[in-house]
Structure 1
């Protein structure tokens, strides 16, 4: 294990050198990066929205609006087809998601069916490559009554097309804003995810994305008084529609339904200024077809008013003084410079094919992003220093080697994140800090095994060789369980949770590399050059070298206590209930900071109540100048977005909005179920792995301790009323992985001792195994807790609840590994617990025999 060929040494140091090279852009100034050659690594990690500010918006195509639009189009097609076929009909209506009509003449029934068959032909579908889908199904419920119904496949086809077109339009709109590296992608069948990092004005982005931007030019009906139509409840004459202008107050117009020219005929739109009034305007230019139609309409209607309409609102309604034949014109209204520019952006990008509703929004201001970076970096530095000092104190020179490996580990994580183009979020920093705490676990396992082999009488060289060899299986087993939890987090998580999962998974891989290649190489080099006659000693020792604590004697007491606490936690879960965040309840979270002085919570409540926002919770958050506002879930997404905008406007004079999170009822329900399924999937995956790797008793014992950890952590969350959100689910799954990591390490030693002491009663064997692994368990828990405490104290308010859950879970997980996992093997009859106890001399004899066998194997190799 301690011999390396030349090519292995070259590969190890090549990996280290490349890691340093690709991690370097994250600490070098931009001026230096610009001077580097283009083929070199110049790409730093991408910072997430919570670190650099920006907006995360999830938009959903309104399915019902799309269905209504398709039904209207189908009705018009039916009218056209039957008119061309000269078939008489009556009662053409839209009813119950279908278009139906009755054929007047019994003899024309077959002609009507033949004509309408044109509409039911399959259309080409790009959903699954080359294929087709039937959009309309025709039926005849009774003689002469024909009904055309939209098929589910047809609706999904239209939805998919609408999402694809929306992505194209949104991409053009966002790119026009001049933002860098926006992410615009499909999510599911009917949703579009938009992430724009570094955006200074997220409300402007929402305004631009929220508009359908359907532009039309239509004539104003001056023969009917708009006031009379308004007085009649909006019932306009046939062929016309009552619309309002964007003025304040709005002006009513009666608009002819006939569209002269639509936005599809626009080829360009640019903001500018009117040469006479110097007011902001938008100049537009039509294509050839649009110019012809517009010129013809203005020639025929000189002296009349025509309306420029955007999303059913009249922007302006000028009088046609003379024919406009050049195919260009201008739109004037109550524009500001920015609104004129935004309208030009919308017109150039084109209209959305369907209405998009914001169902989830997470916005972080650049100020909060910088604060998060500072807090995360500070927590990472302090956590790393604490772990480094502790390892140095516990292992002396071996601690120095472990610390060098730890630094290389962190460098490799950063390098891999940079190469992959992964996004670093605040939970991602938490993942790095947690990796710092957990990475030393592998070194602790190896070093404690080396000390154990030395106590058995091996030489220093053979102790190191056996320590690395015999710790390998244990380290792989323990890290794979955590990897399963990380994979489940990645699959079911969203946004920052995925970032945490990616960082954790990468950390597991780099930890295995540094423990079994880099650390081993450094140790081998030190052994060859120094030829030590004794192991380096540390300066502190938390656990004596040999302990004989009778853990199994108190197993029944611990089991009863554990069951009582778990039952109490479950009762609290359904009576007191956790403090669920908006991820699971829906609603809005707004973090604000007073522009001067402290935040006045009472004043904020009064201001919001004054504009009709009554379901509101306001509390202090972090600094005295900060406040956290929580609004209840609205009945629908559109109403919720309007309420958020109103709340932000009423507070904008005295407060800076640092963060906004809006989760609609649809998304919150989905997040709740994905969280539950994620925990169950993680438990199932880990149980299956332990079952295959060990025996069924081990798997059940592991799940028992894990369920105990989850129940007690949930009870802790209820008692403390810490907010439960998606990051808390990430904490739960990490606790699951960490607890199983601990359990598997102990189980690995139990399995080894089962082979060594075949006649030892199970209770005594479990006590022996727990005691042998006690030093490792305590050391690993302490290093992890040191990193987490640093994160809790210095990582900022945003992830404090996440870290608090982790700290409690790791303490409970450590105890359950000793007092729940191991005793469970007795309850499930892994081996007989009867028989005479084995004395210390017999244990030493067994260890000596085992040592002799292994020494022969090592000598032979």
Structure 2
């Protein structure tokens, strides 16, 4: 085990060197990177929105809007087709998802079905070659034809709308001059837009929120508009309002002269006579012809330029406009004129898009998060490194060198994958530093045991690495399962945490059994030690005599009482749900005079009819956290809240972070979180059952469920906000607790093989004592890393880290007093491992030296 061939040595150090080279650009200043030759690696990790600022917006296509639009089009098609076929009809109406028409003469029914047959033709072939029919025809009674939108047809329209919307949004966002935006489909009817480094998130929302359906229509001057408002508009006309303040009503003919589809260009310019901002436009040949003909026939009349059913302007036609170009004037500012030009150039969206989730971080808060993450990382690394040096001496130095290589490999992999580094991702790296030394601790404690049994130092290290392999793999694989589930159920920053944690697990196992072992081999060849290096670890006895099993009933009673109390508490006290799970808005602001004013802000927002607004001061620079409950008007009402708060407070406060979660998304996130925890339990049960016995799997799941219940109780008792980060914290605690439990279970299985006649309670007690030093040391290093994160990582992740800190204590307790003793209740027997004993003895007897 301590011999390495030359090619293995070269391969190990090639991997480490490659990791260092690829990670190095992340700590070099940009000026240095620019001066490097072209062949040198310069790629750096992509910073998440919480570290560099920007916007994360989730848009949903309005399915009902598409249904209504398709029903209107169907009515028009039926009207046209029946008129062209000279078939009399009546009762052309639409309700729900159906349009029906009655043929006046029953003898024309067959002729009508033939004329309307194109409406039921397939619009596309499905994925498996099945034709998709958008409308189905039914005849409830003779002469009554009913066309109903099919589910397949609606899904086809939604899918097409999403695809087209992605293209339109991409053109709009690119017009803003942003760098590396992310625009992609999310689910069946949603679009995710992420724009990093955006200085004005509000402008992005305004650009994305407009459908931008531009039409040129005539103004109906046959009756006064007020008469149409008070009575009933003439047939074929609709009352629309202008964008002025106050809005001006116009009576607009429904007939569209030219639409925005005929535009080929639009630019923000200035009127040469008034110097006011205007938008110049140019039609294609077809649009220019239709527009010229309409203006030629309607000289002296008003025509309206309508954008999303609002009148931008309604100028008079003084003379025919036959050049195919013109200007749109209104109460424009330079930016609003430019934004309108952007919308017109990009084209109209095929359907209304609703913002169902928004997470915006200002650049100043992103800079603060980077500074906090760097400080927390440095402090956490210093504490872990110092702890290992004090505990293991020279071996601690070896573990720290492996840890440094481990961190470099994590950063290198993140860089190569193009993964996004978030603040929770930094937390994942810091937590990995604490957990990474666990593998070395397991190995070193095995070496101590081997040495204590009288073996030579070479034999002790050889046997220590060999015996620790299965334990380290099992312990880390269970944590990897949690990281994978966390990635698939999480969103945004939570995924960043899962990615770094998962990569860290893989690199930890690699460095522990390659680099650490190679460094130990070199140390042996050069210094030829005769004894285990001295450190504080020598004060931890290898075989303490703590009677854990004597107190197991007390542990069961205490845990049972605490669990029942938490469950009972849930019936009388609810969670302090964050906006992730109940919807609403969270706004972090900073006073421009750096003076905290929660009372004043609460009073100013009280008159906006937003419900029970919470205003909380934190930090020392006039920072406030405003929480607004979910609104009754649905997803669109949530966006109105932010606009109202911004209008009220923008003169006195800088908006550093905005999170808006609509009721649609909040319900989905709550369900996803529940599924994530349930799946993690099932996955761990299956894996441990497969690797050990069913008693071990059930014991691990019960003890882990106990940990989850206690953590939930901490959230309820302390009133901590329960959000997506809380789910991530619970899953992290599950991973840590299972890691601890698997190490103990592995030792119990080994002891059962060794002492077949020993009573099970004594076997478990011996195993708990033999792994106690590892449990203490691993818990200590993880806590040191977490404490650094809690005090220096910033407000954003403090509650997340606090829950994990509590979870480390609870997980350690449950591993000792719940997971192990449960095996007695499940009638675990030593003879279960009888078939494995001969294999284990043969493996032990094999000479080392690979």
Q: Shorter-chain-normalised TM-score: which range? A: over 0.9
Where does residue 124 of structure 1 map in the other structure? Answer: 124
Where does residue 696 of structure 1 map in the other structure? Answer: 694
Q: Does 1:257 align with 2:243?
A: no
CA distance in 2, matches of 1:756, 1:343: 79
Q: Does 1:106 align with 2:106?
A: yes
1:198-247 deviations in Å (ceiling 9; x for gaps): 10111100000000000011111122211222333xx3111111111111
* Residues 683 and 401 (structure 1), Cα distance of their counterparts in 2 relative to 1, 3 Å cut: same
Task: Kindly indicate whether the alpha-carbon contact (under 8 Å) linking 2:442 and 2:468 is maintained by their aligned counterparts in 1.
Answer: yes
* Residues 853 and 161 (structure 1), Cα distance of their counterparts in 2 relative to 1, 3 Å cut: closer
Equivalent positions of 1:328-339 (< 5 A) are 328-339=325-336
Q: Does 1:51 align with 2:19?
A: no
Q: Does 1:426 align with 2:423?
A: yes
Q: Name structure 1 gaps, 5 residues minimum.
A: 834-846
1:578 to 566, 570, 575: 575
Q: Please state whether the residue corresponding to 1:212 is helix, strand or coil.
A: coil
Equivalent positions of 1:249-398 (< 5 A) are 249-398=246-395
Q: Please state whether the residue corresponding to 2:846 is helix, strand or coil.
A: helix
Where does residue 847 of structure 2 map in the other structure? Answer: 858
Where does residue 732 of structure 1 map in the other structure? Answer: 730
1:153-195 deviations in Å (ceiling 9; x for gaps): 0000000000000000000000000001110111111111101
CA distance in 2, matches of 1:854, 1:597: 68
Where does residue 624 of structure 2 map in the other structure? Answer: 627
Q: Please state whether the residue corresponding to 1:157 is helix, strand or coil.
A: helix
Where does residue 41 of structure 1 map in the other structure? Answer: 41
Where does residue 18 of structure 1 map in the other structure? Answer: 18
CA distance in 2, matches of 1:497, 1:158: 33
2:799 to 798, 801, 807: 801
Task: Kindly indicate whether the alpha-carbon contact (under 8 Å) linking 2:611 and 2:629 is maintained by their aligned counterparts in 1.
Answer: no
| RMSD (Å) for aligned C-alpha atoms | 1.7
Equivalent positions of 1:300-699 (< 5 A) are 300-539=297-536, 543-623=540-620, 625-635=622-632, 636-699=634-697
Give the CA deviation at 1:421: 0.4
Give the CA deviation at 1:610: 2.2
CA distance in 2, matches of 1:513, 1:851: 24
How many pairs does the alignment contain? Answer: 844
CA distance in 1, matches of 2:148, 2:589: 50
Deviates further, 593-602 or 537-546: 537-546
Task: Kindly indicate whether the alpha-carbon contact (under 8 Å) linking 2:2 and 2:849 is maintained by their aligned counterparts in 1.
Answer: no
Where does residue 787 of structure 2 map in the other structure? Answer: 789
* Residues 151 and 591 (structure 1), Cα distance of their counterparts in 2 relative to 1, 3 Å cut: same
Give the CA deviation at 1:389: 0.2
Q: Does 1:197 align with 2:201?
A: no
Task: Kindly indicate whether the alpha-carbon contact (under 8 Å) linking 1:410 and 1:436 is maintained by their aligned counterparts in 2.
Answer: yes
Where does residue 710 of structure 2 map in the other structure? Answer: 712
CA distance in 1, matches of 2:597, 2:262: 53
CA distance in 2, matches of 1:106, 1:577: 64
CA distance in 1, matches of 2:590, 2:532: 56
Q: Please state whether the residue corresponding to 2:183 is helix, strand or coil.
A: strand
Task: Kindly indicate whether the alpha-carbon contact (under 8 Å) linking 2:44 and 2:415 is maintained by their aligned counterparts in 1.
Answer: yes
1:630-651 deviations in Å (ceiling 9; x for gaps): 1110121111111211111101
* Residues 765 and 276 (structure 1), Cα distance of their counterparts in 2 relative to 1, 3 Å cut: same
Where does residue 82 of structure 2 map in the other structure? Answer: 82
Query: Structure 2 length as normaliser, TM-score?
Result: 0.97
Q: Does 1:813 align with 2:794?
A: no
1:321-354 deviations in Å (ceiling 9; x for gaps): 1111111111111000000000000000000000
Task: Kindly indicate whether the alpha-carbon contact (under 8 Å) linking 2:685 and 2:697 is maintained by their aligned counterparts in 1.
Answer: yes
CA distance in 1, matches of 2:572, 2:486: 28
* Residues 168 and 129 (structure 1), Cα distance of their counterparts in 2 relative to 1, 3 Å cut: farther
CA distance in 2, matches of 1:855, 1:330: 88
1:391-443 deviations in Å (ceiling 9; x for gaps): 00000000000001111111111110010000001110110011000000000
Task: Kindly indicate whether the alpha-carbon contact (under 8 Å) linking 1:756 and 1:850 is maintained by their aligned counterparts in 2.
Answer: no
Give the CA deviation at 1:501: 0.6
CA distance in 2, matches of 1:273, 1:297: 26
Where does residue 841 of structure 1 map in the other structure? Answer: none
* Residues 289 and 795 (structure 1), Cα distance of their counterparts in 2 relative to 1, 3 Å cut: same
Where does residue 834 of structure 2 map in the other structure? Answer: none
CA distance in 2, matches of 1:698, 1:802: 30
CA distance in 2, matches of 1:360, 1:613: 18
Task: Kindly indicate whether the alpha-carbon contact (under 8 Å) linking 1:728 and 1:802 is maintained by their aligned counterparts in 2.
Answer: yes
Which 4+ residue blocks in structure 1 deviate beyond 4 angstroms? 849-856
Q: Please state whether the residue corresponding to 1:318 is helix, strand or coil.
A: coil
Where does residue 838 of structure 1 map in the other structure? Answer: none
Q: Name structure 2 gaps, 5 residues minimum.
A: 832-836
Deviates further, 491-500 or 28-37: 28-37
Where does residue 843 of structure 1 map in the other structure? Answer: none
Query: Structure 1 length as normaliser, TM-score?
Result: 0.96
CA distance in 2, matches of 1:163, 1:387: 49
Deviates further, 522-531 or 391-400: 522-531
* Residues 860 and 70 (structure 1), Cα distance of their counterparts in 2 relative to 1, 3 Å cut: closer
Task: Kindly indicate whether the alpha-carbon contact (under 8 Å) linking 1:542 and 1:775 is maintained by their aligned counterparts in 2.
Answer: no
Q: Please state whether the residue corresponding to 1:858 is helix, strand or coil.
A: coil
Task: Kindly indicate whether the alpha-carbon contact (under 8 Å) linking 1:608 and 1:614 is maintained by their aligned counterparts in 2.
Answer: no
Where does residue 139 of structure 2 map in the other structure? Answer: 140
Task: Kindly indicate whether the alpha-carbon contact (under 8 Å) linking 2:610 and 2:629 is maintained by their aligned counterparts in 1.
Answer: no
